[in-house]
Amino acid sequence: MRYRFLSDGRTAVSEIGFGVWSVATTWWGVKDAQTGIRLLREALDAGVTFYDTADVYGNGLGETMLADAFWKSGVPRDRLVIATKFGYDIYTHAGERGGHSELPQDFSAPFIRRACEESLRRLGADYIDIYQLHNPRMDALRSDEVLEALDQLKAQGKIRIGGVALGPDIGWFDEGMESLHREGIDAIQIIYSLLEQDPSSGFFPAAEQQNKSLIVRVPHASGLLDRSYSPEKHFSKSDHRSHRKEKWMAAGIAAIQILEFLEAGRRLSQAAIQFCLAQPSVKTVLPNFTSSEQIREFCAAADLPALSQEDLARIRRLWDEGLRDSLVQPLSDSKTKPAPAPAAKIS
């Protein structure tokens, strides 16, 4: 495993991180908490030190699983970098959300303070390394109240870095650019892969210029690039992958045949991760771990030779000359996808 420093110059994260949604929700198939805890520990043994969760994952289960997996087995807190998220009101609207459905959101200062305290309690920790707005719309990103609340939590030592996780789906370019230019937001989580290069490729120049850290999720395009998807598979409405259009999935399968040249000396799943890591502003990549085999396979990508400049140039050319057109899909933003109904405010 290799490690990269975040933009603060002090926090080192593993190039491969663990997105806890894959073991704390029903969206990806791991439904047994003990299996999830075992996978979390196996990832640590493989060198993974960055773990990304959210209060909404399993209504807090993702956070308590981290505490059960690590602190109860004696892992020092400072060995790991923990990121979690806030913004969905799980306290008055409990219940597992499926796919891309969303609970009411609250980005008021009282809610942020409460959410942080609850996350710290579930995590069994006295600080959070990266505290991220979860799928915020533009009004939340432009709110001075939000940034002041984060600054206060930093001053109290409860969080170290403020961040934003864009989503829940592909798009959010304007929101991403706003995040990259907001003081106090230093980490931005994006969707990016060989099959979904837009719009996130537009973030890289600004991230380097503004000295911001990017975290990539869905590097395997919902299973296409790790070959865990086939046209015969059908997903329930609660499964995160059910939002994918069959036409897009078919285009993705066709694109994989064009990208098979990347499998020289590596698996396509590993090349997909290396493609994301080719960007200096990308500090860590979050594949979906659901088995021990995937942990071994995906983590090995960090130790293989990087993709060559020739490979990267060929990928860029293929994207510009046809793959982009075949894989284009509607992009979401604050105008096309308004915020969920607001939650009741906490005083």
In a domain, 50, yes or no: yes
Residue numbers of the domain that contains 86: 3-327
In a domain, 343, yes or no: no
Tell me the average pLDDT across 146-175: 98
In a domain, 346, yes or no: no
The DSSP secondary-structure symbol of 159 reads E
**Average model confidence (pLDDT) for the chain?**
93
In a domain, 272, yes or no: yes
In a domain, 332, yes or no: no
Catalytic machinery residues: 57
Other C-beta atoms lying within 10 Å of the C-beta of residue 14? 25
CA 73, distance to chain mean position in Å, is 26
- Binned at pLDDT 50, 70 and 90, residue 227 comes out as confident
Q: What is the pLDDT of residue 8?
A: 95
In a domain, 341, yes or no: no
3-class SS at 217?
strand
- DSSP states of 26-46: SSSS---HHHHHHHHHHHHHT
Tokens of 135: 């799928």
- DSSP states of 279-293: STTEEEEE----SHH
Q: What is the pLDDT of residue 95?
A: 60
Residues 116, 84: contact at Cβ < 8 Å?
Answer: no
CATH number for the domain spanning 38: value is 3.20.20.100
β-strand 3-5 against 12-14: which pairing, if any?
A: antiparallel
Nearest to 239 by CA among 54, 22, 60: 22
- Binned at pLDDT 50, 70 and 90, residue 181 comes out as very high
Query: One-letter amino acid identity for 136?
Result: P
Percentage of the residues of the chain whose pLDDT score is greater than 70: 90
Whole-number Å distance between alpha carbons of 330 and 96: 26
In a domain, 81, yes or no: yes
Whole-number Å distance between alpha carbons of 152 and 88: 20
How many domains, the chain? 1
Q: Where are the beta strands (DSSP E) in 218-268?
A: none
Q: How far is CA 156 from CA 57, 76, 120, 128, 149, in A?
A: 26, 21, 13, 11, 11
Over the stretch 107-143, which tens digit does the pLDDT of each residue have? 999 999 999 999 999 999 999 999 999 999 999 999 9
In a domain, 304, yes or no: yes
